[in-house]
Amino acid sequence: METLLFCLFGGIASAAAINVVVQRRVFYSALSLIICLSAIAGIYMLLEAAFIAAIQIIVYAGAIMVMFLFVIMLLDPFSSSALQDKKKSLGFIGVLLGTVALVLLYSLLKSYDLAQVPRNMEMSQGGVTALRILGSALFNDYLLPFEVTSVLILVAIIGAVVLAQRRT
Amino acid sequence: MGILHYLVLSALLFAVGAVGVILKKNVISIFLCIELMLNAVNLSFIAFSRFLNQVNGQIVVFFVMVVAAAEAVVGLAITIALHRARNTLNVDDADIMKW
Amino acid sequence: MIDYLWLIPLLPLAGSALNGLLGKRLSKRAISIIACGSSGAALLVALGAVSSLLQMPAEERHVIRHFFTWIASGDFIAKAEFLLDPLSAVMLLVVTGVGFIIHIYSIGYMHAENGYYRFFSYMNLFLFSMLVLVLADNFLLMFVGWEGVGLCSYLLIGYYFDRRSAGDAGKKAFIVNRIGDVGFVLGMLLVFATFNSLDFDAVFRQIASGTERFPFETGLGILGAIGLLLFIGATGKSAQIPLYVWLPDAMEGPTPVSALIHAATMVTAGVYMTVRCSPIFSRSEVAMDTVAIIGILTALLAATIAVAQTDIKRVLAYSTISQLGYMFVAAGVGACSAAIFHLMTHAFFKALLFLGAGSVIHSMSGEQDMMHMGGLRKSIPITCATMMIAALAISGIPPLAGFFSKDEILWSAWTHGHPIVWLVGFAVAGLTAFYMFRLIFLTFFGSQHFSEEVRHHVHESPFSMTMPLIALAILSVVGGLYGLPALLGVGENGFFKFLEPSLSLAYHPAVAELPHSLEWVFAGASVLIASLGIYLAFSIYVAHPEAAANWGGKARRLHQLLVRKYFVDEFYDAVVIKPTLTGSTELLWKGVDVGIIDGSVNGVGARVYGWARVLKFVQNGLVRSYAAWILLGAILILFYVAMAGH
């Protein structure tokens, strides 16, 4: 069962990812990405990270991607003409580097024996108990980064407002 | 199902995202590919969290998402500013800082 | 009084500092008092110290006074210590005595100069250095004095610094001295390497007691090497072949400087050093022969050049070189006492000659060319009389001082087995008498070859200048009387007996025991040839003045050779100076400094610039290419991790 779901979601995610790169118009790329993110959320569910999966749908696919779509709509979503390429060889180089990276990563990952890694028994109970553990870790051990990220968001808001305002 | 499958999937998504960053000329497309890379990394974190039975991976993903949101906000603001200044979304047009 | 030994050099040093720092504001009288006072005080302390020494029994006359330890580094210890023994006592009295007399003379001679205080400051500094040299009891401290006198010589020769020739002469003196000093330093290093100490006492005792280690060397052994190296330094300081060329040029300095430094004291430092190191020299046949041969050759060379010179001071300079040659001959044949004896008497009459020449120049309003003098006998009688006494002394006419000392040297040369040296020395004695009286006759006799205006100014020098002349004349007459008892066969030479303890550690080979009457014959022969020289000078320059010009015309080539000093200076210029200059300019300056050093430094800069010009094209402004580079970097790190893992 798990394998089946994995293949399903994994395949959707991969296909959508490739589509993001392949599509010429940015609007379609964005839509493909939404699909990819949702598939990934499904994989998170598979990996017993329910909370994160929910966050993924709500924040990533729901908020961030919608914001992207806003901006895309604002700025020429359906440009049909291909943009000027100032360094034509970059495309080829990019694909080359990507494949090399992939091959390298795969061989590297395969060489590690991950079954030997020690396990923590606490998370074996799924569901609410896992969430409790996540919550207590977040607000006890990681309290400082938590607070700092709120400042980060504030800074980002102010920065965005300043950067995007009209100069009159 | 070993962890390897998830990690390979993560690697694949990452590679695709990397290719996209170099390949695409539209600024917003590049941002989308960056988001794709971030998600690939998130996936590997969650996989490890599951297979090591620790909550730290999920915490990290939490924060990555927050940071990704902030970064996307600022990045899109810059894109808007760029469009306003140059009326172009081609990243190759922003090449004045060179030799 | 011996405990106040430190006062002797320090008083002139204090005087030098006072005059040097405050002199501009002091009156001439104050400056004179400070300078002459400090040198006079040094003389008094020296007299006191020597009299204390005389009150000690002969075997104990070896007093060391320690002041402070200068360098203490591992095995090497250098101390500031003074040694008072008969040898240094003699030198001490000569330096302070003649120095004081010349200081008095300088009051009158230099009174019109602007840099009055500077002169006396340098003179006192010179006294300090020379006294340190003479009193030092180790090689290093002696070297400090050695260098100090060289410096003062440079300062005083270049006293008239607004004259280009004076500056050049000063530089020449210092540089040629320096070349000699290389030999001296190498000798010192060799001494330290061999004996592990630089103290005279330690070194000489090691030599004297270690007969297996330090035997008498017929070939070139370690002692010979040390001796030769030290002697190179002596040739520089005491103006022997090949480093004598600075002394004639040094006449650019004021006449009292020539008298003090270049006649009586500094140039004798080499002789003093050689005699002090007699334990080293006497045990090496090579070193002794070298010293004697160079000495006699220099004596001959300088005497022949002096015959043809027309500048009164130049004649005296070459005469000094020649007489120094005699002293080295004495040291080289093993008659060190005779060398010191001649050093002392020479100090008297040579200083007198120079001061007298200064008096003549002073009265002639600065004229130094003898050809423009003449007939001054009646105008400056005191100067004339004292100079004639000095000329008789240097020619070796008894009973004046020079007779005894020179005769002693020639006799020693014969008895110590160097007949050829005796023969050449004999000839030089004749030449000495000839050129010295040539000087006297040209200056004081004959017709007057100068203008009416100069004649008006001709006057005898003031008392401050004539009194030293008279004092030195008296010393020239009585200074040699030590040798009278020995000559008459009624006793020993008191001076030699006094010096004996200082020379006890030297090696004394067997001396031919010749009958006393033979010594009388030799003495008589010396007097004869000296008289012949005087007579020749008289007949040429007084009786038949035209004959001089005739002779000069007939042997013009020879005359030119002598006047031009055998072209030695030109030879050195071509063989030593020009190649060094060219080598420095072309090879070291343009080749090494500009080419290699500047080239490599600039080259590094140029190389970096070159690379930068190529590498800058990486920054092409395209964000995508930057991203590609980043990805490449990440891949390389992955690669490294993959490789390192296996």
Residue ranges and CATH numbers for the domains of chain B are 3-97 (1.10.287.3510)
- SS3 of residue C56 by DSSP: coil
Across the A:C interface, residue pairs with CB atoms under 8 Å apart total: 35
Mean pLDDT is highest, among A83-97, C208-222, C248-262, C514-528, for C248-262
The residue with tokens 């971030």 is B38
Mean pLDDT score, C103-117? 86
User: Nearest CA of chain C to the CA of B38: how many Å?
Assistant: 15
Which ipTM score applies to this complex? Answer: 0.91
For an interface test with A, which of C617, C619, C620, C625 has the most A Cβ atoms less than 10 Å from its Cβ?
A: C625
pLDDT reported for residue C120: 92
The whole model's pTM is what? Answer: 0.72
Of B22, B30, B97, the CB nearest to C621: B97
- SS3 of residue A76 by DSSP: coil
Q: Say which amino acid occupies C315.
A: V
Whether the per-residue pLDDT at A25 is higher than 80: the answer is: yes
Whether the per-residue pLDDT at A123 is higher than 70: the answer is: no
Of B22, B25, B97, the CB nearest to C631: B22
Q: Cβ of A97 and C628 within 8 Å?
A: yes
pLDDT reported for residue C515: 74
Per-residue CA distances from A3 to A47, B3, B5 (Å): 12, 12, 10
Q: What residues pair up with C77 in beta bridges, in sequence order?
A: C72
CA distance C633 to C636: 5
Q: Cβ of C620 and B95 within 8 Å?
A: yes
Whether the per-residue pLDDT at B63 is higher than 60: the answer is: yes
Q: Cβ of C628 and A107 within 8 Å?
A: no
Q: Supply C116's token pair.
A: 């009055």
The residue with tokens 């079954």 is A115
pLDDT reported for residue C568: 83
Across the A:B interface, residue pairs with CB atoms under 8 Å apart total: 229
Q: How many CA atoms lie within 13 A of C485 on its CB side?
A: 9
Give the Cα-Cα-Cα angle C293, C298, C301 (nearest 5 degrees): 125
In chain B, residues 14-53 whose CB comes closer than 8 Å to chain A = 14-26, 28-29, 31-33, 35-36, 39, 42-43, 46-47, 49-53
CA distance C263 to C316: 9
Give the Cα-Cα-Cα angle A64, A66, A67 (nearest 5 degrees): 65
User: Nearest CA of chain B to the CA of A45: how many Å?
Assistant: 10
Whether the per-residue pLDDT at A73 is higher than 80: the answer is: yes
Q: Supply C554's token pair.
A: 């007939």
In chain A, whose CA is at the least distance from the CA of B31?
A68
A1-65, CATH topology level? Four Helix Bundle (Hemerythrin (Met), subunit A) (1.20.120)
Mean pLDDT of all residues belonging to chain C:
86
CA distance A129 to C146: 99
User: Nearest CA of chain B to the CA of C619: how many Å?
Assistant: 5
Q: How many CB atoms lie within 10 A of CB C244?
A: 26
CA distance C37 to C11: 9
**Contacting residues of C for B22, CB less than 8 Å apart:** 624, 627-628, 631
Choice among B80-84, B90-94, C255-259, C550-554 with the minimum mean pLDDT: C550-554
**Contacting residues of B for A91, CB less than 8 Å apart:** 22-23
Q: How many CB atoms lie within 10 A of CB B17?
A: 25
In tens, the pLDDT along C74-106 reads 878 888 889 888 899 989 999 999 999 999 999
B94 touches chain A (CB under 8 A): no
pLDDT reported for residue B16: 94
Q: How many helices (H) and strands (E) does chain C have?
A: 29, 2
| Touching chains, C (3+ CB pairs < 8 A) | A, B
Q: Cβ of C627 and B22 within 8 Å?
A: yes
**Contacting residues of A for C635, CB less than 8 Å apart:** 97, 100-101, 104
User: Is residue C297 packed enough to be buried (19+ CB in 10 Å), middle (13-18) or exposed (0-12)?
Assistant: middle
pLDDT reported for residue C71: 85
Question: Taking a C-beta distance cutoff of 8 angstroms, is the pair C623, A86 a contact?
Answer: no
Mean pLDDT score, C340-344? 90
Q: Cβ of B76 and A106 within 8 Å?
A: no
pLDDT reported for residue C538: 84
State how far Cα C83 lies from the chain centre. 21
In tens, the pLDDT along C419-464 reads 888 889 999 999 999 999 988 888 888 777 777 777 777 777 788 8
Residue in A28, A165, A64, C620 with CA at minimum distance from that of residue B91: C620
Q: Cβ of B98 and C620 within 8 Å?
A: yes
Q: How many CB atoms lie within 10 A of CB A66?
A: 11
| Touching chains, A (3+ CB pairs < 8 A) | B, C
Q: Cβ of C624 and B18 within 8 Å?
A: no
State how far Cα C435 lies from the chain centre. 22
Whether the per-residue pLDDT at A121 is higher than 60: the answer is: no
In tens, the pLDDT along C124-180 reads 999 999 999 999 989 999 999 999 999 999 999 999 988 899 999 999 999 999 999
**Contacting residues of C for B98, CB less than 8 Å apart:** 619-621
CA distance A123 to C147: 92
Choice among B75-84, C280-289, C559-568 with the minimum mean pLDDT: C559-568
Q: What residues pair up with C369 in beta bridges, in sequence order?
A: C311
CA distance A102 to C479: 111
In chain B, whose CA is at the least distance from the CA of A117?
B52
In tens, the pLDDT along C359-414 reads 888 888 778 888 888 788 888 888 889 999 999 999 888 878 888 888 888 888 88
Per-residue CA distances from C331 to C278, C325, C498, C524 (Å): 8, 10, 17, 23
**Contacting residues of A for C638, CB less than 8 Å apart:** 101, 104-105, 108
pLDDT reported for residue A161: 92
CA distance C110 to C117: 10
**Contacting residues of C for B21, CB less than 8 Å apart:** 624, 627, 631
Q: How confident is the model at residue A115 (pLDDT cuts 50, 70, 90)?
A: low
Could you write out the DSSP letters of every residue in C366-420? T--BGGG----TTTSHHHHHHHHHHHHHHHT-TTSHHHHHHHHHHHHHHHTT-HH
In chain A, whose CA is at the least distance from the CA of C642?
A108
CA distance C432 to C122: 32
Q: Cβ of C619 and B91 within 8 Å?
A: no
CA distance C16 to C187: 31
Whether the per-residue pLDDT at C522 is higher than 80: the answer is: yes
Question: Taking a C-beta distance cutoff of 8 angstroms, is the pair C190, C226 a contact?
Answer: yes
User: Nearest CA of chain C to the CA of B65: how many Å?
Assistant: 22
Q: What residues pair up with C311 in beta bridges, in sequence order?
A: C369
